[in-house]
Amino acid sequence: MAKKIRITTGDLKVEAELNESKTAQAIWEALPIEGKNNLWGEEIYFSIPVKASLETGARDVLSAGELGYWPPGHAFCIFFGPTPASQGNEIRAASAVNVIGKVLSDPKTFLKAQDGAKITLEKI
């Protein structure tokens, strides 16, 4: 069964889908979740009440639109472009993340997100 979620921040409402990983399942079970955006280059991250370790297949180079979970900060991450850790045009996390899903529309929509704005994750 597809685990579709809505990510809302400011006037942005974006649909995404979580994958079948253990971390994605733990996040699904914890929804709804609210937080505050932290922007790091073209990445949004925020702490969530889910604790998980790195899974097999965790990586630090992502594609635009991928969602990740960063264990050191217990953080949900939305990758939509280069970060301060990127080399060239790659999208690089601070360190390896569990890939937990993907945005179902243009990830560049998140360029409009404001640092410190409320963000909500909910099931749809």
Tens of pLDDT along 76-114? 999 999 999 999 999 999 999 999 999 999 999 999 999
**% of residues, the chain, pLDDT over 90:** 98
How many folded domains does the chain comprise? 1
Residue 87 dihedral angles phi and psi, to the nearest 5°: -115, 115
Dihedral over alpha carbons 6, 89, 74, 102 (to 10 degrees): 30
Range 38-62 average pLDDT: 97
- Please give the mean pLDDT across all residues of the chain: 97
What's the pTM value of the predicted model, to 2 decimals?
0.97
Instruction: Assign residue 19 the CATH number of its domain.
Output: 2.40.100.20
pLDDT at 111: 94
Q: Show the domain range for 65.
A: 3-123
Report angle CA 85, 57, 46 to the nearest 5 degrees: 50
Q: 2 pLDDT band (50/70/90 cuts)?
A: confident
